[in-house]
Amino acid sequence: MRIGEIVRETAETEIELSVDLDGSGDSTVDTGVGFFDHMLTLFSRHSRFDLNVKCDGDTYVDAHHSVEDIGICLGKAFAQALGERRGINRYGHIILPMDETLILCAVDISGRACLCFEADFPSEKIGSFDTELVEEFMAAFVRSSGVTLHVKQISGKNSHHIAEGMFKALGRTLKQAAAIDEELGDEIPSTKGVL
């Protein structure tokens, strides 16, 4: 069972989060931020990770603290669920279309936190959601999970499609990278012997 569970409380947010890497894409998501709920739900469906998120945050200020802190928690839970990372593919990539939008996403579950993010959102907001928070979420996830992640918008004119394409691509890419490679057995996929 590759499951990670995190409870995190700060002056800004209270979060309970769990992820099952060997799930079926079921999710229960309540972040207090409607558009972000939508993004995490489709992330869960496309990764096939079961995801449960409950966040009480200071959304009367804005969504920034909730989105960033959930990224931190998801990254920690993901790393916890992977354990020593034995037998995983390690790498994953996709070029994902979402109508007029095309997103490149690639990941290395390397133990080294690095985010390369390129996007040009046509609008500053999707409803009440600040589009800059997409990168904030990805950065928080990367820092706390210890993965190398490249997300690049190749094309796109609709901010909703760009964000949605990115979350779907992240889910598909992490699913691929975290999957068990039967040929590896119990081996850690690194010449160092550790990830």
Q: Residues 165, 40: contact at Cβ < 8 Å?
A: no
Distance separating alpha carbons of residues 40 and 25, to the nearest angstrom: 11
Instruction: Return the CATH fold of 3-178.
Output: Ribosomal Protein S5; domain 2 (3.30.230)
* pLDDT reported for residue 142: 98
Q: Residues 173, 105: contact at Cβ < 8 Å?
A: yes
- pLDDT average per 10 residues of sequence, the chain (195 residues): 97 98 98 98 98 96 97 98 95 98 98 97 96 98 98 98 98 98 81 73
Per domain, the residue ranges of the chain are: 3-178
* pLDDT reported for residue 185: 79
Tens digits of residue pLDDT in 32-51:
999 999 999 999 999 999 99
Contacts of 60 (CB under 8 A, 6+ apart): none
Helices (H) and strands (E) counted in the chain, each on its own, are 4, 10
CA proximity to 135, closest of 4, 45, 47, 39 = 39
Q: At what angle do helices 132-145 and 64-82 cross, to 10 degrees?
A: 30
Distance separating alpha carbons of residues 130 and 62, to the nearest angstrom: 9
CA proximity to 97, closest of 171, 161, 48, 25 = 161
* pLDDT reported for residue 153: 98
Tens digits of residue pLDDT in 66-103:
999 999 999 999 999 999 999 999 999 999 999 999 99
Distance separating alpha carbons of residues 178 and 155, to the nearest angstrom: 27
Q: Residues 59, 32: contact at Cβ < 8 Å?
A: yes
pTM above 0.85, yes or no: yes
- Output the six-digit token pair for 72: 């931190």
From residue 68, alpha-carbon distances to 32, 35, 54, 188, 195 in Å are 13, 14, 14, 30, 25
